[in-house]
Every structure is written in structure tokens, then in C-alpha cells.
Structure 1
Amino acid sequence: MKRIVAGDLEVAYLDQGPRDGFPAVLLHGFPYDVHAYDEVVPRLAEKGIRCIVPYLRGYGPTRFLSADTPRSGQQAALGNDLRALLDALDIPRAILAGYDWGGRAACVVAALWPERARGLISCGDGYNIQDIANAGMPAAPEQERRFWYQYYLHSERGRAGLEQNRRALTHLLWELWSPTWRFDAETFERSAAAFDNLDFVEVVIHSYRHRYGLVPSDPALQSLEAQLADQPAITVPAIVLEGADDGVDPPAELDRHASHFTGSYERRIIPGTGHNLPQEAPDAFVRAICDLSGKR
């Protein structure tokens, strides 16, 4: 595990593979951590790809530098953190790959700073930039049911529940979102230790409230949120991976995100796979990275 000061954070991250190799930044989601890539990284490193796997803000050993920095979980914060990490590591361009929150960070950078992305792997909700202005519009009832945890976290009862029952709540989400993944207690606990970060609850609560316009942005990030409100296109080469058994964001028959991608674009639905795609289907994830990098 390495650490580096990047923007508002001291970021803890894994750095494996040849130092001068083709760089790829692999980003985890909520509620997961860097162990989602345990089977992905060695395979990519063998192919000459340098893998950077950071703990996101609010997870594991990553820490805020100042007590005064808002513990924001908004999309602009995640994207800005990723850009700052690339700057700190002196990586001009990389393949950006992630799922859930990590996929959102990757999409934000690919959309706002395309010169930093050699390509994009986005799992699940392919165009993972939130349309906050329309977040209050109702979804189909079945999807509203899947989003129960978001509405729960909008309440102070939900905040207290996450604080007091973070292991039980996140374990339940793993089960619901990946119904065909038979993970064991050791696998879960290896990742769940990252949720003991002192800022985890505040960052998570802000994330799930901000995306519905219920709480304000970090003022320092407002200009980035304004750009994201325009739903900018993603112009870099992109592959979207979707788990066929995803319990929170199941793939739709029609690709409702394709119009947001104006460069080369491919959507792949992975059978027998839920929400935590790199950990459940490492072969498919490695293949996508290799297809974008040319490292077969």
C-alpha cells in the first residue's frame, strides 16, 4: 500500500505492474473497496499494464488533509479526486475503469477532461453521470423498490442505521445486488474493514442526498457540477460492462446510454454476474481492459 497527497486527500493506493507500463486506474464502488480487483490486477500486470487501485474518499486508509474540507460524496468530488490523483502520480493519460462510485469518477473525468483518458471501462449504469435536475422524477415501481437504501439514507434514521449497523447493512446490499455471487464471510470482511474510515458515513450520506438535490454541493466544486448538469458526452473509446444478474441496476433490453457516447463504444452484458463486476467476473473485466489497451 502506498500513499500520496492528491488534492484534498492523502490517497492510499495499490500500484502494481511495470512502472513504465500502460497505465490503468481501477476504481471501486459503494460499498466495496480495492479488494474488488484482487484477481484482476495480477493478470493485467503480467500483460505489462501498470495498475493503480486507490481507496476512494471515505474508505480505508485514505484521509482528508483538512478537518475543514466538506465530507462530500458528490460526483464532482469523485471525479476531481481522480484527476488530482493522476496529477500527483504524473500520469498524463490512463485507461479509467470502475463500477458504481468508481465508474462515476471515471465517467466524470472522461467527460470533462477527455485528454486524461486513453479509454473508459464503465460497469453497470454505463453513462454514470447523474442528472440531478431530473432526479425527482419517479422511476418504474420495481426500480423504486431497488432504490430503497437510497431513500433510507435520506433520513436521519438511515444515517444512524449506517453508523450503527454498517456491517449488516452493507452485507445485505452485497447479497441483494449480487444474488448469484457466493461470497464468503472472509471475502466480505476483507472489504468491510474499509468502511471503518471515520469519514465513511458522512461521505456516503452526502452522496445519496446530493444526487437528489437534497443537500448543497461543496462550494469549491459547484462549477464542476454545473458542467455535469449539461450531461456532457463521453468522446473517448468506451466499453460498458453490465452484469446480467445485477440486483440494483439490471441491464435494460434497450441501451438507454449509448447516445451519451460519441467515440467508439461497445456494450457487453456478462451472464451470471451481479453488481460487483470485477470481483465476480474478473475474466470479462481483464478482457475489456486488454481490448482497449491492445495488450492481449
Structure 2
Amino acid sequence: MSSDTSLFRTVDRIHAGDLSVAYVDLGDPSADPVVLLHGYPYDVHSYVEVAPLLVEAGYRVVVPYLRGHGPTRFLDDRRPRTGQQAALGSDLRAFIDALDLDEPVLAGYDWGGRAACVVAALWPERISGLVSVNGYLIQNIAGEESPIRPDLEAGFWYFWYFATERGRRGLDANRRDIAQVIWRRNSPEWAFSDAELDRAALAFDNPDYVDVVIHSYRHRLGLAPGAEEYEELERRLALAPPISVPAITLDGTADGNFPATDGTPQAHLFTGTREHRRIPHAGHHLPAEAPHAFAQAVADVAEPPGDGAGTP
């Protein structure tokens, strides 16, 4: 499928919380807003095919670069370059407030899905709905120390690599090549091109990229402390707060690291309306691999079937 990357060439910027956030803003500014959130190691171009579908369906589509990625920068050199979940969620909340978005739908995968889940769980009044790949992504940091199936542990090789100083140096020296290995493992049926990888890799040149990524995975494994300012939020997240906003969760049946389920293992964590969908042949990078399915999920959360929802 071809995609018009020119839509993503104009990047706006706004101060939000600790960051000067770079973002793409498409569609009618007065339309109902949707915020699309990328993961690691990816960038805003995950949505080059999803965004036009949603704009055509009548939504305003906003796609920010996460901390440590692309042109997004810290406002204060003294702020810790943390990548923990509370920081990602706080960034997103500040971004929504800075743009004065009125109850947007949040949609994302990986790091972006985690940020969206944090906001949905802690500040549900700020948003109208959630689309999350792999479901409920809020981490139980203490539980992350428990081993999982060996074949799945193997897919998380970079967690353990980044826990070492050798891994830090390797990430600094081989940002694109490490992403390539992760992409192939995450999405074994996705035939991405060198050009697509090169395009995303430009976002890894951010001066904070290595520090943010390394801290994210070390904190997740309990190997690095979080920033003091996020301690209370992390305590709240450790309790696995339920998500009460309308939600659609997605699993790709070809996800190399997160086997698709029927959604029932996480059902108790969603106290509002929630639907779980399995997307055939899609991997972890689901918005890029199945853009129509992802866009339809966003539209269905924004306007549930029967209430005038269109087909992106």
C-alpha cells in the first residue's frame, strides 16, 4: 500500500510539561480529536496510512513524537531523562492540556499504548476512549522480575542487553540496526523496506534517545530507580487501576513477542465498555501492518456502531 509521507513533513511544536513536543497535526482543527501514539523503536510514521483514513472520516488527528524521539526536546537540561511509564503518561496528559484537546480518543501501541493506558486509568475524565494494541499495558514493575516463557524471554533480548553498559554503548552506536532486529522479531510477516526503516531511524538521532530508552528498560526490570517526581504515580499504577473509558483492544495474530489472546485474561482491568479484536497477519507494529483495522477501531471507539460511525 502506498502512503503519502508528505502529510508528515510539517511538524508543529508546543511546550507541554517537561517537553517541547514536536507533533503532526492533520485535519479540521475543530473536528473531534484523536491522538495517535507510536512505540519503541518506531516513530510518528507508524501512522502515515492510518492518519489520512481518519482525516477523511472527519477527525482531527494529532501524532506526537514521544520523549527522546525526533524533534521533541526537554525544556530543562537538568530534568532526568527517565523513560518510565509514569513519565510517558504525564507527558501525554500535559500534551492534551497544552493543545486544549476536548476529550480526545487515545490510540497507540507499545510505549504509546502504555502512555494512553496510563492516562485512561488515572485521568479518564480527560479522554473519551482508548484503542490499545496488546490490551492493558500498565506495568507491574515488581511483577516484571518474574520469569516468563523462555521463547518469549528470547524475544526480549534487548531488555537484558540494555541492562548492561555494553548495551548502552551498543544502542548509541547501532540505533538503526538494533531497531531492524527488533522489527523483524516483532513483526515476522511484515515486509518493511529499507526506506521505511531509514525514515524511522531519523527519529533516533535525538540527543536524549539513548538515556530515555536505557532508563525505560532498566526501570521496567527494577534495575534503575524512577524519578522522585513520579513516585506517587508509580505507586498508583502498581495497583493496576482499571480503565473505565470505552476501549477497543487489539492483538495481531502474527505478533512475534506478544501472542494473541481472546482478551479474557485482562477483562477484569476494563470496567467500561470494551471489545477485543484479533487482527490476522498483523504483528506488533499493528498500525503500519493493518492500518484499516486500526483506523476502524479508532472510529468505532469515537462513534460506537449504531451512533453514526463511518468506515475510514
The TM-score normalised by the length of structure 1 is 0.98
CA distance in 2 between counterparts of 1:214 and 1:93 reads 36
108, 124, 133: which one pairs with 2:142? 133
Shift of 1:252: 3.4
- Letter of the 1:104 partner, please give it: R
State the SS of the aligned residue for 1:135.
helix
Structure 2 equivalent of residue 68 of structure 1: 78
CA distance in 2 between counterparts of 1:199 and 1:222 reads 22
CA distance in 1 between counterparts of 2:198 and 2:300 reads 32
Aligned counterparts, 1:1-296, within 5 A = 1-124=11-134, 126-252=135-261, 255-294=264-303, 295-296=309-310
CA distance in 2 between counterparts of 1:18 and 1:32 reads 26
27-36 or 247-256, larger mean C-alpha shift: 247-256
Q: CA RMSD in A?
A: 1.0
CA distance in 2 between counterparts of 1:259 and 1:145 reads 29
Shift of 1:253: 5.6
Cα distance change on mapping 1:20 and 1:259 into 2, 3 Å: same
Equivalent residues of 2:252, 2:260 under 8 A apart: yes
CA distance in 1 between counterparts of 2:295 and 2:149 reads 33
- Sequence identity, in percent? 56
CA distance in 2 between counterparts of 1:246 and 1:151 reads 20
CA deviations on 1:178-200 (whole Å, 9 max, x unpaired) are 11011111111111100010100
CA deviations on 1:224-267 (whole Å, 9 max, x unpaired) are 11110111000011100111101111213663211100111111
Structure 1 equivalent of residue 8 of structure 2: none
State the SS of the aligned residue for 1:61.
coil
CA distance in 2 between counterparts of 1:226 and 1:138 reads 22
The TM-score normalised by the length of structure 2 is 0.93
CA distance in 2 between counterparts of 1:208 and 1:288 reads 29
Which runs of structure 1 show a deviation greater than 4 angstroms over 4 or more consecutive aligned residues? none
List alignment gaps of at least 5 residues for structure 2. Answer: 1-10, 304-308
- Letter of the 2:84 partner, please give it: Q
CA distance in 2 between counterparts of 1:224 and 1:92 reads 23
- Letter of the 2:120 partner, please give it: A
Shift of 1:144: 1.4
Shift of 1:22: 0.8
Cα distance change on mapping 1:202 and 1:223 into 2, 3 Å: same
Equivalent residue pairs, number: 295
